[in-house]
A and B are shown apart, each in its own frame.
Chain A
Amino acid sequence: MPEAFQALTSKAVVLSQANIDTDQIIPARFLTTTSREGLGKAAFYDWRYETDGSPKPEAVLNRIDPAERRILLAGPNFACGSSREHAPWALVDYGFQAVISTSIADIFTSNALKTGLLPIEVNQATWDDLAAFPDQPVTIDLEAGEIRRGNAAPTPFTVELFARRCLLDGVDTLGWLQARLPDIAAWEAAHEMETA
């Protein structure tokens, strides 16, 4: 059962580059795992570490305290590329609880929502405003559907309604789908000939 998403107040890390793909978020060589745990060390690995494994001192993600910055403010078309759910697993294990961008790839959005990582799409003006004040804590209020920064006017955002309910109430999506099994069985009985 996923934990319910609590309102989040945190500073942001800004990675403004466009098209940060899933191979940047977690390089493929870390995908041979059979577990979903402990992938935070692989998050943005090639951005954070030299070929010999030593940390790159200039890398933003090596200079911050992840516990202080739970929001990733990312450039457009974030997490394009593969369907690997390892990408949100790695980001959550690193410490992120929300990603804000002007556009986020479809499959990643679906995967993130199932991992308890909140993906939020905002317009460019909001993005620019947040990027201008990365050191000021921002509150993401999922219940109210608002992003609040200091005294600035709150910015509304939307999340697909079912995913929102799942996050707020900790609804287990697989359990919910299993509750539809009678409908599924009935559908199969009616359609089996057609699709077999």
Chain B
Amino acid sequence: MRETLFDKVWNRHVVTPETVDTPGVLYVDLHLVHEVTSPQAFSEIEARGLAVRRPDRTFATLDHSTPTLPAGADGERPYVTAAARSQVERLEANCARHGVRLAGWDSDDRGVVHVMGPELGLTRPGMTVVCGDSHTATHGAFGALAFGIGTSEVGHVLATQCLLQRKPKAMRVTVTGRLQPGVSGKDVALAVIARLGFGGGSGHVIEYAGEAVRSLDMEGRMTVCNMSIEAGARAGMIAPDVVTIDWLQGRRHVPKGEAFGRAAADWLTLRSDPGAVFDSEIEIDGAAIRPMATWGTTPDAGSPIGTLVPAPRDASDEKALAYMGFAAGEATTGHPVDVVFVGSCTNGRLPDLRAAAEVLRGRKVSPGVRMLVVPGSEAVRRDAEAEGLDRVFIEAGAEWRLPGCSMCIAMNGDFVAPGQLAVSTSNRNFEGRQGKGARTILASPATAAASAVAGVLRDPRVYLKEAVDA
């Protein structure tokens, strides 16, 4: 039986197989937890008198409701509301009571859950990883099967370390050819989603393959897998290779010495067998991908920067254009940008910040643009500051903040004001996602930085000397 990568990882975790009447029981290797989707799950298991079954396979962080401004002189953190504070305190208490490790305020490890997990080596090839968060697919970049679950299921995993699951279908997206200079993982993700459509991956686990995907560094691969849910897919996966193994070696929770060699040899077997059959296959010409930006209020409404907004297909497109203030037949590069956000679990890692800094170095953020740069984790913050990237951002006129989800979801007091136009490196351009009435253009870190400088949406290649459009 020729198996896909997804089959291999799935099969390794089946405790009891599914039948016509019942789903299978699937074992979870790593359960990541954050403050927003866990309190009701802890309450549920406590109401039943249950403990966390495997605290050693559970790891928590604070990211969504956390302020990105430092504590005041009185030591008080500037929470947006008392509810945000009590949500954070609830996770702290739940973790203490159940013996779950928490990367809390005092930890050097704290970060956005999908930035932190891989950084610490908690995420490894062949694992099953779940979190009460739809962007859990990020971890699939390592050849893990990683997907988001709801709060009831968070409770199931806390209590049993397992989930009831029916096996999704498999799709392969092959991105061929060599990416042009100035084209990043984010542009690949937006191009793939534009092709698949917003619900096009529904019911599927996507394996990303092809030369263009292989050419991405781990951070770029995480960006691509991260946005699988924006095509409706449960998960995205990329087969581990030497890039994966080099990235993981030496990380805290990765096996050391001889054990690492054995693990790495096993990881390299995690690839789709030649001739393995997928339920659907899509091929995209990677060499033809240009820096992308969205024009609508769904992540699939994207096109190369500078192309004209298409005519609306239906009432929903019309509503999206009315909300964005864009007209069919125009380029969106003429609208003044109010806010630029660089960060999130999609694009808040070190290479993302480097790409933004490369554009900003020696340049200024346009007057009238507010630019916020939020590192994805404390580790990213440390590394960026060691390289002086924080100075580049601050000298250009951007704000350099503490790690967290921040303006990606606008729960913590960082938001885009009603009617303002934002260029954002996050993953969702839904109405109100970045604040009530906020209008969001999704783009890469380089594009976000170029737009901050230009004051309008701008193709970053105009600022990147080595970039030549073929």
* Interface of A toward B, CB cutoff 8 Å: 16-19, 21, 23-24, 27-29, 31-36, 46, 51, 75-77, 80-86, 103, 105-107, 110-111, 114-115, 160-162, 165, 173-174, 176-178, 180-181, 183-184, 187-188, 191, 194-195
Contact = CB atoms under 8 A, between A and B. Distances in A.
Q: Considering residues B81, B132, B152, which has the most beta carbons from chain A within 10 angstroms of its beta carbon?
A: B152
Interface stretch (B196-204, B280-288, B386-394): B196-204
A64 B43 CA distance: 34
B109 interface: no
18 contacts: A18-B316, A21-B428, A27-B432, A32-B36, A33-B83, A77-B198, A80-B298, A83-B133, A105-B199, A111-B151, A111-B152, A160-B23, A162-B23, A174-B155, A180-B16, A180-B160, A181-B160, A184-B15
Given A184-B161, A187-B27, A194-B12, A21 B316 contact: no
A180 B156 contact: no
B27 A191 contact: yes
B366 to A, nearest CB: 27
A21 B428 CA distance: 10
B430 A24 contact: yes
A159 B433 CA distance: 31
Contact of A83 (B25, B43, B150): B150
A178 B159 contact: yes
Contacts of A114: 150, 152-153
B322 to A, nearest CB: 12
A17 B316 contact: yes
A75 B48 CA distance: 38
Contacts of A174: 44, 48, 152, 155-156, 159-160
Interface residues of B, number: 70
B21 interface: yes
Contacts of B25: 177, 180, 183-184
B270 interface: no
A36 B436 CA distance: 23
Contacts of A46: 431-432, 436
A19 B298 contact: yes
Nearest to A23: B430
A21 B159 CA distance: 30
A29 B148 CA distance: 20
Nearest to B157: A177
Contacts, number: 176
A160 B436 CA distance: 36
Interface in B36-55: 36-37, 39-40, 43-44, 48, 50
A64 B214 CA distance: 54
Interface in B85-132: 86-87, 90, 126-127, 132
Nearest to A114: B152
Given A77-B232, A174-B156, A83 B134 contact: yes
B316 A51 contact: no
Nearest to B124: A195
B418 interface: yes
B22 A162 contact: yes
Contacts of B12: 191, 194-195
A24 B23 CA distance: 31
A162 B410 contact: no
A114 B151 CA distance: 10
A76 B199 contact: yes
A24 B428 CA distance: 12
The 9 closest A-B pairs by CB, nearest first: A111-B150, A34-B39, A83-B148, A85-B150, A32-B83, A18-B316, A114-B152, A85-B151, A77-B199
B204 to A, nearest CB: 9
A27 B436 contact: yes
Nearest to B255: A196
B29 A195 contact: yes
Given A34-B39, A103-B202, A161-B20, A177 B436 contact: no
Interface string B223-237: 000000100101000
A136 B130 CA distance: 43
B164 to A, nearest CB: 6
B469 to A, nearest CB: 32
B434 to A, nearest CB: 9
Contacts of B151: 36, 85-86, 111
A178 B84 CA distance: 32
A46 B323 CA distance: 13
A32 B65 contact: yes
Which of A33, A34, A111 counts the most B-chain CB atoms under 10 A from its CB? Answer: A34
Given A31-B36, A32-B65, A83-B134, A110 B430 contact: no
B428 A81 contact: yes
A19 B21 contact: no
Contacts of A21: 298, 428, 430-431
Contact of A18 (B156, B234, B314, B418): B314
Nearest to A36: B40
B402 interface: no
A193 to B, nearest CB: 11
B256 interface: no
B335 interface: no
